Chains A and B, each alone.
Chain A
Amino acid sequence: MEILVTWLSTWGLNDWNPWTFLTIMLMACVTVITRCFFFISDTPWTLPSWAQRGMQYAPIAALSAVVLPEVLMTQGIFIHTWADARIYGALAGTAYFFLRRGSGQAVLGTIVAGMAVYIPLHVGLAW
């Protein structure tokens, strides 16, 4: 018995909590429900035409609303220093993208160019 407990504890299973596991399973269900929200039902239904037109502006607004606060804010406050590696990393990435416009690897280049500027400033200068 003791051996079993020791073996289980090496896997962290001795403090395994079924409630946490249930929570995680239900969180996976929330992922499905939110990602499929408007196509779960089979009933025929179409978006009103103004909303359909509006959809072309939704993805970029959502993306920009996710990205820009990640670059320009620190702990919920707009940054008030130029000594922040994220600004220069993001600028370098964006510059690379628009210089290499049309090439298939533009996004990969954005990541590499951005990190090449970000890491030295962030690790070297602690910006």
Chain B
Amino acid sequence: MLFSRSQRRNPAYRQGFMEMLTVAPGIAAWGLMTGVAMAKSGMSTPDVLAMAILVFAGSSQLAAIPLLAAGAPLWVILATAFCVNLRFVVFSAHLRNYLMHLPRMQRLMVGYFIADLTYFLFIERYPVPGTTDQERADQMSYLAGNATINWLSWTGCSVLGIALASYIPAAWGLAFAGVLALTGILCSLATSRMRVLSAFMGAVVAIMAYALPLKLNILVAIGVSVVLCLVLESYLAPSPREA
């Protein structure tokens, strides 16, 4: 069962919790500024709170706010949220083998909590899916610990941002702490030359394709980088399993 006592007793839970805790200041500052932005959007307080607690996806929240304020049709808002979240569809293909041992409802529940940072830290800690019951239990415990602190710091600080919106000017630039948290994780993922190349291509393509709507530049950047790395790999490395 997810978020059960046996998971909290597993040492991997604490590991996941502590690894995410070091990143938490970035998430907290970012959540705070998202809360401020939501509170200043003109939405009613219960709506803003519901959004902060339920949606749990910062980029789709920020994309939806101006559309809600402008009274855009429902399907436009949902299609926007979907497109802005498309990188998660790629992540879900990667995570499939890690989670298929769970019943469907539990998969959906775990999946809901796997935001960007949880995904990056998780696949870094566990490069291959568990094959034994013990490995799977460890991985699920790690996810539970990691997601708990992520959810608490993100949601808690969003609500705090909503409450303190008029006292925190955006000019302080606190949101940059979120960018720095991602920068730190980006550095920690750069463990091989091919990965550095993938990062470089991702950045170049994302900047060149920035004019695309709905953050589709990110999806294009992932596609181009992965294909380029696979092609180069087949030319350069005789053993394709090198990570």
Chain A contacts to B: CB under 8 angstroms: 11-13, 15-17, 19-28, 30-40, 42, 46-47, 50-51, 53-73, 76, 78, 85-86, 89-90, 93-94, 97-98, 104-112, 114-115, 118-119, 122-123
- B60/A27 in contact, CB under 8 A: yes
A27-B64, A28-B55, A65-B221 known; A118-B188 Cβ under 8 A: no
- B198/A67 in contact, CB under 8 A: no
Bin the interface of chain B by size: 35 or more
User: Which of B44, B173, B180, B230 sits near A53, CB closer than 8 Å?
Assistant: B230
For A89, list chain B residues within 8 Å (CB). 176, 180
Complex Cα–Cα for A85 and B177 (A): 13
Pick 11 A–B contacts, CB within 8 A, sort by A.
A12-B44, A37-B92, A46-B97, A50-B230, A53-B230, A56-B195, A62-B218, A68-B206, A73-B210, A93-B183, A108-B25
Q: Which residue of A lies closest to B191 (CB)?
A: A60
Residue from B120, B180, B207, B211 with most neighbouring chain A CB atoms (10 Å): B180
User: Which of A27, A31, A54, A76 sits near B211, CB closer than 8 Å?
Assistant: A76
For A24, list chain B residues within 8 Å (CB). 47, 50-51, 54-55
Of the listed stretches B5-13, B99-107, B151-159, chain A binds B99-107
- A97/B44 in contact, CB under 8 A: no
Complex Cα–Cα for A60 and B177 (A): 19
Complex Cα–Cα for A24 and B111 (A): 19
For B203, list chain A residues within 8 Å (CB). 64-65, 67-69, 72
Complex Cα–Cα for A106 and B189 (A): 12
Q: How far is the CB of B14 from chain A (nearest CB, A)?
A: 13
B238 close to A (CB within 8 Å):
no
Q: How far is the CB of B89 from chain A (nearest CB, A)?
A: 4
Please classify the interface of chain A as helix (H, G, I), strand (E, B), loop, or mixed, using the class held by over half of its residues. helix
Q: How far is the CB of A25 from chain B (nearest CB, A)?
A: 7
Q: How far is the CB of A122 from chain B (nearest CB, A)?
A: 5
B181 close to A (CB within 8 Å):
yes
Chain B contacts to A: CB under 8 angstroms: 22-23, 25-26, 43-47, 50-51, 54-57, 60-61, 64, 68, 74, 77-78, 81-82, 85-97, 99-100, 104, 107-108, 111-112, 114-116, 119-120, 123, 127, 171-173, 176-177, 179-190, 194-195, 198-203, 205-207, 210-211, 217-218, 221-222, 225-227, 229-230, 233, 240, 243
Beyond contacts A24-B50, A51-B93, A60-B189: 18 other A-B pairs, Cβ-Cβ < 8 A, are: A20-B47, A21-B50, A23-B74, A32-B111, A34-B89, A38-B93, A58-B94, A59-B123, A60-B186, A60-B198, A62-B87, A69-B206, A71-B179, A85-B173, A86-B176, A94-B183, A110-B187, A123-B172
Q: How far is the CB of A37 from chain B (nearest CB, A)?
A: 4
- B44/A17 in contact, CB under 8 A: yes
Q: How far is the CB of A102 from chain B (nearest CB, A)?
A: 10
How many CB-defined contacts (below 8 Å) exist between A and B? 284
Q: How far is the CB of B198 from chain A (nearest CB, A)?
A: 4
- B211/A16 in contact, CB under 8 A: no
- B172/A30 in contact, CB under 8 A: no
Complex Cα–Cα for A111 and B127 (A): 25
Complex Cα–Cα for A63 and B184 (A): 11
Complex Cα–Cα for A82 and B25 (A): 27
- B189/A39 in contact, CB under 8 A: no
Complex Cα–Cα for A49 and B166 (A): 52
